[in-house]
Amino acid sequence: MKTITIKDVAKLSGVSISTVSRVLNAPESVKTEKREKVLKAIKQLNYHPNALARGLIYKRTKSIGVLIPDISNPFVAGVIRGMEDEGRELGVNLILCNTDRNQERMVRYLKVLKEKQVDGIVFTSDPINEEYYQIFNEIDLPIVLAATESREYNIPSVKIEDEKAAYDAALYLIEKGHTEIGMISGPTTDTIAGFPRYMGFKQGLRDKLSLENNNIEFGFFDYDSSYKAMERLYDKNPKITAVFCASDEMALGAISFLNTKGINVPEDISILGFDNTKIAQMSIPKLTTISQPMYEIGKHAILKLEKMISGESLEDVVTYLPHTIVERESVKHL
């Protein structure tokens, strides 16, 4: 299968390759008659310009690399969806890379992305440490963080205010009449979704209930660890009437445990989730949850990255998108 090039088009239409190039890039600069001939030849030969050759000249590939922990995580998938849609709008494609939080793998990906001349990188969802920062630096590509941030290294980012969201979560539960409130938190070593939500929650209770809350157990944002955390929490304090979970999946784990004990949600215990992924609408009961604008986070991240790539200045390096509380069925007003 011979690859057909601009030369073939030129020959068939009886013009020079420059003219063909012109009808591709500045059609008005070519006399109508010739232009038509060229266009016809392009159709006839089913010619597609070679983006590699173009990229070599333009130094822009309209491709960007996306580093994510795992595409099968619904939250991540939601963010990616927003990125892809915005990418289509802007004519850029996404190269997907699952890191599984494996640093070595990330370094390898970054290397091939650099070689493939991607215009930029968006890094999603994971905390940034000194080492990551070094790696980003070395690769020397525009980068934006989506659903994560890095104040100390001043990398552009898009996310919600997690601490405030958790604070609001606490307030919401209090408003609903709860005073004996528990939390299933992510690990506090997680500086994005763990620690800030933990802190925000505690602060909310301190401010409104003047109480130092110790009804907190920990898991890893997933179903199983949360199931067990709920068990511990219930053992520790069965008088709890509401628990705030640091992710929707955790909320489901908690509900599942309570279900085995014959404890009803929300009649006996209220559950408040976090994320508002699709499962929040499909569980029984449907989850009341802190909604993160996953799709918007993705869109904004791409938008911001494009600005960086094209050298525009950013209005704000760190942008916070608003969270909301989506009320469904898992929290009861006492």
Partner DNA sequence: GTGAAAGCGCTAACAA
Partner DNA sequence: TTGTTAGCGCTTTCAC
State the binding partner of 15 from DNA, a copy of itself, none, CB within 5 to 8 A by kind: DNA
Hey, CA dihedral for 152, 158, 162, 164, is it positive or negative?
positive
Can residue 7 be called a binding residue for DNA (CB under 7 A)?
yes
Question: Which one-letter DSSP state was computed for residue 114?
Answer: H
Phi, psi of 290 (to 5 degrees): -80, 120
Q: Does 151 bind DNA (CB under 7 A)?
A: no
In the complex, least distance from residue 38 CB atom to DNA, rounded to whole angstroms: 9
Structure tokens at 205: 């209770």
| Binding span for DNA by CB under 7 A among 15-23, 201-209, 253-261, 295-303 | 15-23
**Toward DNA, which CB reaches closer, 33 or 315?**
33
Binding site for a copy of itself (CB under 8 A): 1, 3, 46, 48-53, 55-56, 59, 61, 63, 70-72, 74, 77-78, 80-81, 84-85, 88, 91, 93-98, 105, 111-112, 114-117, 138, 140, 223, 249, 252-253, 255-256, 259, 278-279, 281-284
Among 161, 177, 188, residue whose Cα is nearest residue 292: 161
Report if residue 236 touches DNA, rule: CB under 7 A.
Answer: no
Tokens of 5: 């090039």
Among 1, 11, 12, 19, binds DNA (CB under 7 A): 19
Contact 80, 71 (CB under 8 A): yes
Q: Binding of DNA at residue 6 (CB under 7 A)?
A: yes
Instruction: Indicate whether 17 belongs to the interface with DNA (CB under 7 A).
Output: yes
DSSP 124: E
Report the residue number, 84 or 126, with the smaller CB distance to a copy of itself: 84
Residue 62's Cα: distance from chain center in Å?
Answer: 20
What values do phi and psi take at 297, rounded to 5?
A: -60, -45
We find the least distance from the C-beta atom of residue 68 to a copy of itself, in angstroms, to be 10
Q: State the minimum distance, in angstroms, from the CB of residue 22 to DNA.
A: 6
Q: How far apart are CA 328 and CA 287, in angstroms?
A: 6
Smallest CA-to-CA distance from 247 within 181, 200, 201, 197 is with 197
Interacting residues with DNA between 46 and 105 (CB under 7 A) = 47-50, 53-54, 56-58
User: Is 175 exposed, middle or buried, given 0-12, 13-18 or 19+ CB atoms closer than 10 A?
Assistant: exposed
Site residues, DNA (CB under 7 A): 3, 5-7, 15-22, 24-25, 29-31, 33-35, 47-50, 53-54, 56-58
